[in-house]
Amino acid sequence: MAIYNLWQSMTPQDPAFLQEAIDKMNERVSLSRALQERAKAEDPGSRYLGLGQTWESVGLSRLAVLYVAAGDTGKAVAAARECRRRQTNKDPTVSAFSAFFLGNALWHDGQKDAALQAWNVPPETTSPPTALCKEPSEEHNGYLKFMADAGVDFDISDEHGFSALDYAILGDSKDAVATVPIVEGALKRAIDSRIRSEKRGLSEDEIQKQVNEAIAYKKRQAELRRLYRTVLQEQIRPELRAKSDSTLKRLRAICSRFVTEDLKGQTMLDKFKYVRYIDFKNHQKLPRSDSGLVKVYSEADNDNHATDELFVIFFSYRWIGGDVPDDSKNTQWKRMISCAEAFLVQNPDVRLETLGIWLDLACIDQDNDETRRSGIDALPLAVTQCNAMISLVDPTYYTRAWCVVEVMLIRELQRAYKFHVWQEESDGSLQKADKNRVVDLNNLGLSREDDRPSVDFLLRQSALLGKDDA
């Protein structure tokens, strides 16, 4: 490829240099195959067999690029297809790279529909744009611009729930920074086209306003994923895996520091809050965020004996009053009191004086939209910092989006770390929750449809809580 790069920089370009590059790459492919044959004959388990396969794959994909440059697109397609056919590496990123080179060859051969089919992979699959954003470089940015102009879908999330924009924002190199506007431009064009198709009659100003709002939201989600990836990988997961009597105390200190000291965390994630159970009980109804009962946890509280043994129960429940969480009889509040009392009986080591309650009405701001959003976005941290979750189950509980989000968060925490407690109350009985219950994630009900993107984000985030590589 060094010869190819030299050829690209030449003015005028000498075809002899390009042909030499093609000859050298064909030689590399032949040598890689010879290495594989020798390894198979002498030691089928040799690492050289895998190395030979990788070198062959790289050689064929590069050969496809060289043939495109030479105008021999038929040979380019053949080389790219051979690369896909002989590929044995199951790594999704490697597969996505070979899909790019196949699509590139097909596009230049005039087979544009086939090229788009190679590039636009199914959801939860690493797409070529995503793979290129994982490994930013000047060369890859050129490929990204090419696919963006071709109309490739840049909004496909991979098996970890990350999109091309997520990986672009995760990087901090010069090339990664240059990647962001390329991806953003591709997303803008796609969103603009969708809005014009679905909402005919909008003014140009209104279209651009909606496009900019959608992009701003996607960038916020990408920043949130970066924040969560940082705090989960570097601090929360190691603490949960260590498991000790002071794990919750240390987790709360970690999260408190993170949302206080990290510049992005300060503005995007709300602090951990709770209501003392004694205050909750005396209030005689579900307290709101402006009730004056809400306590904000801070790292300084770790030095306070009163919070040293703080045990917090997260209540997951359905808002039975539609836009309000409870009915005129305070049914949900009464259920929570009954559950808390039963929990104290079942767990005599938990003290009444140090019992705290987390519920959305109190611990997420109900009056300020910006603070409300930071509270919702911090939901995975809130569940992680609670000792237990109690689900108030009724016939529609598992069909409501926010209830299911909370369930998926606690289920993944339990599966990965076996540390948190999860119980259900149904028909007046408090018992261990069914972690194997099948939940339909495709038809979840919402009172506010504009919350749907947040629900989708948190459902994807729940799946990452226990993954070391996400």
Pairing of strands 429-432, 421-426: antiparallel
Separation CA 44–CA 306 (nearest Å): 64
What's phi and psi for 422, nearest 5 deg? Answer: -135, 125
Torsion angle of the four alpha carbons 402, 407, 408, 413, in this order, in degrees rounded to the nearest 10:
130
Count how many Cα atoms sit within 13 Å of the Cα of residue 9 in the half-sphere of its side chain: 6
Q: What is the pLDDT of residue 308?
A: 58
- Binned average pLDDT, 10 residues per bin, the chain of 470 residues: 47 72 90 89 83 87 91 94 83 90 96 96 91 93 95 90 91 91 96 91 93 93 88 88 87 90 80 96 96 87 60 96 89 96 95 95 93 93 96 95 95 91 92 90 87 87 73
Q: What is the pLDDT of residue 184?
A: 96
Q: What is the pLDDT of residue 274?
A: 96
Query: What is 1-119's CATH number, 1.25.40, 1.10.20, 3.30.70, 2.60.40?
Result: 1.25.40
Cα of 335 vs its chain's centroid, Å: 34
Residue whose tokens read 């919070």 = 307
Q: What is the pLDDT of residue 427?
A: 85
Each residue of 366-381: b (16+ CB within 10 Å) or e? eeeeeebbbbbbbbbb
Residue whose tokens read 């010069």 = 174
Under 8 Å between Cβ of 227 and 200? no
What pTM was estimated for this model as a whole?
0.81
Contacts of 187 (CB under 8 A, 6+ apart): 154, 155, 165, 214, 215, 218
Q: What is the pLDDT of residue 7?
A: 44
**Percent of residues in the chain assigned helix, strand, coil, to nearest 5:** 65, 10, 30
Q: What is the pLDDT of residue 60?
A: 92
